[in-house]
Chains A and B, each alone.
Chain A
Amino acid sequence: EVQLVESGGGLVQPGRSLRLSCTASGFTFDDYAMHWVRQAPGKGLEWVSGISWNSASVAYADSVQGRFTISRDNAKNSLYLQMNSLRADDTALYYCGKDTGLVPAAPIDYWGQGTLVTVSS
């Protein structure tokens, strides 16, 4: 059974940093691209970032470009999102998602339960 478990969310002040983690199980992690998707309270889905199976290809939404960094450790079956210079509008539930292919350009067929990030002073 595929499982994706996010962690690392919490309350953080504007301008500070936070690192999210996603631990995967139930599939061959290094065979698939991975994504982060967020959802602000009461709002729609927003794609944040994606990374290829071998980390060679990464992409970001304009809203986080230059502030967020996606990475993965295939030996640990883990995906990460380093979030710097956080702003109030980064407040959201952050989901980890598994792509159906090697590069981040295909549907997300499995989602975690999400980890909540709240940016507030």
Chain B
Amino acid sequence: SYELTQPPSVSVSPGQTATISCSGDKLGNKYACWYQQKPGQSPVLVIYQDTKRPSGIPERFSGSNSGTTATLTISGTQAMDEADYYCQAWDSSTGVFGTGTRVTVL
């Protein structure tokens, strides 16, 4: 079955850039999206179709996808961005989530 691998954790200082990777076989040939989940809350879509931001998502969130890796970048990270982040892609009509990355803003 298809798998998406993320680093378990990323630490970033306020105002700096956080980069989260998501690796999967030929992932660049699929669309990737990203979700943010804060403790006790439901996930929120922050990036879809590799690079697009839904309405209401701050510009500091951006995405890319090429080769085997999709990347979520948070520029000028704020304390409110501290959360778990999950990538997602579709493989043979089956949804696959990444393993998740906890972003800590120190």
B88 at the interface (CB under 8 A from A): yes
A29 at the interface (CB under 8 A from B): no
Asked if B95 and A50 make an inter-chain contact with CB atoms under 8 angstroms apart, the answer reads: yes
Contact of B93 among A100, A104, A108, A113 (CB under 8 A): A104
Find residues 37-95 in chain B having any chain A CB closer than 8 Å to their own CB: 37, 42-45, 48-49, 54, 84, 86, 88, 90, 93-95
B99 at the interface (CB under 8 A from A): yes
Asked if A62 and B93 make an inter-chain contact with CB atoms under 8 angstroms apart, the answer reads: no
Size category of the binding interface on chain B: 20 to 34
Give the distance in Å from the alpha carbon of A104 to the alpha carbon of B54 in the complex. Answer: 18
Known: A62-B1, A107-B33. A46 touches B97 (CB 8 A): yes
Tell me the interface secondary structure of chain B in the complex: strand
Contact with B along A90-109 (1 / 0, CB 8 A): 00000100001000111111
Give the distance in Å from the alpha carbon of A109 to the alpha carbon of B36 in the complex. Answer: 12
A120 at the interface (CB under 8 A from B): no
Question: A63: nearest residue on chain B (CB-CB)?
Answer: B1
A11 at the interface (CB under 8 A from B): no
Contact residues in B for A114 (Cβ distance below 8 Å): 42
A-B contacts, CB under 8 A, total: 61
A26 at the interface (CB under 8 A from B): no
Give the distance in Å from the alpha carbon of A57 to the alpha carbon of B42 in the complex. Answer: 26
A44 at the interface (CB under 8 A from B): yes
Report which residue of A44, A46, A112 has the largest number of chain B beta carbons within 10 angstroms of its beta carbon: A44
Asked if A113 and B42 make an inter-chain contact with CB atoms under 8 angstroms apart, the answer reads: yes
A111 at the interface (CB under 8 A from B): yes
A80 to chain B, nearest CB (A): 18
Asked if B43 and A111 make an inter-chain contact with CB atoms under 8 angstroms apart, the answer reads: yes
Question: A114: nearest residue on chain B (CB-CB)?
Answer: B42
Contact residues in A for B98 (Cβ distance below 8 Å): 44
Interface residues of B (CB under 8 A from A): 1, 31, 33, 35, 37, 42-45, 48-49, 54, 84, 86, 88, 90, 93-100
Closest 6 A/B residue pairs (Cβ):
A47-B95, A111-B42, A44-B100, A107-B48, A107-B33, A45-B97
